[in-house]
Amino acid sequence: MSINWLKYSSPQAFYPLAGRLIPWFAVVAVALMVVGLYTGFFVAPTDFQQGEAYRIIFVHVPAAWMSMFLYVVMAMWAGIGLGLKARLSFMMAQAIAPTGAMFTFLALLTGAMWGKPTWGAWWVWDARLTSELILLFQYAGVMLLRTSIDDVRRADRASAVFALVGVVNVPIIYFSVQWWNTLHQGASVSMATGSKMAATMLIAMLIMTVAFWLYSIAVILARVRCIMVERESLPVWEEKPAVIQEAVEAR
């Protein structure tokens, strides 16, 4: 049996599909979070160097990975939208940005929480944290560009261009900040865990990452459905027949 994937590229077809998928992603995400947190707190041992503080990585690393991953996916949808002029692609990009920004904020917050007991400072100007900060600004730029431009079509395409420009910028930032750190020989700390991680720590971290990923998919699908309704790209067939009947009779 071959599925005609192309038919899901129209909002009308994608809307109910997304609606059916969301509960599955949500349930598995929650289940994995429970498993991951249990493994992280009750199975993984205490770290020799960092004590219990290291357990923050079970949310810090997944959040950081998601923030980067979601930005790339958003840029991919932006590129597809610009190339194929597909409405749904732009709506997907629009739906991803807030979740990506949230994870970026969490990565920075938990990074500071981890940094203070471990390295003694709330903030260090290492390449990873600084790139994360710039990423937050880029997410903000994508979202503000959209809200500042009234014309929906122009907003879609302008924020898509900026998202793509930003994707090029992030690796350049990372390299330049690393360069800058070696130049100033100041911050020789990095946010990477020095010691080798025990297998259970790694497993817990990976489980949490997958959980965050599935959570993101659920949330983004829910948001894109809202966007479809808001933009009236989606006709009101989703309403109950009685309501539609009533409206038709009222005319």
Partner 1 sequence: MNGSSIWEAVSGIVRRDLLLAMRRRSDAAMSVFFLVIVASLFPLGVGPEPAVLRTIGPGVLWVAALLACLLSLNRVFTADYLDGVLEQMVLIPQPLPVLVVGKVLAHWVISGLPVVLLSPLLGLQFGLSGESLGVLVSSLLLGTPTLSMIGAIGAALVLGVRGSGLLVALLVLPLYVPVLIFGAGAVTSSMAGIGGEANLSLLGACLVLSLFLAPWATAAALRIALE
Partner 2 sequence: MQWGSASEFFAMGGYGLYVWTSFVATALCMVWEVLALWRRRAAARAEQRAALLGGTDETTA
Instruction: Tell me if 231 contacts partner 2 by CB under 8 A.
Output: yes
Instruction: Tell me if 129 contacts partner 1 by CB under 8 A.
Output: no
The tokens of 100 are what? 């990506």
Q: Chain-centre distance of CA 197, in angstroms?
A: 25
Among 34, 52, 172, 195, binds partner 2 (CB under 8 A): 52
85 makes contact, choosing from partner 2, partner 1, none, with CB < 5 to 8 Å by partner type, with none
CA distances from 139 to 91, 167, 229, 239 (A): 15, 11, 23, 34
Instruction: Tell me if 51 contacts partner 2 by CB under 8 A.
Output: yes
Among 149, 187, 206, 210, binds partner 1 (CB under 8 A): 149
Q: How far is the CB of 52 from partner 2 (least distance, A)?
A: 4
Q: How far is the CB of 224 from partner 2 (least distance, A)?
A: 11
Q: How far is the CB of 225 from partner 1 (least distance, A)?
A: 26
State the maximum Cα–Cα separation within the chain, in Å, rounded to a whole number: 76
For residue 186, give the DSSP letter.
Answer: -
The tokens of 51 are what? 């004590």
For residue 51, give the DSSP letter.
Answer: B
Instruction: Tell me if 158 contacts partner 1 by CB under 8 A.
Output: yes
Selected range binding partner 1 among 12-20, 92-100, 157-165, 242-250, rule: CB under 8 A:
157-165
Contact 75, 104 (CB under 8 A): no
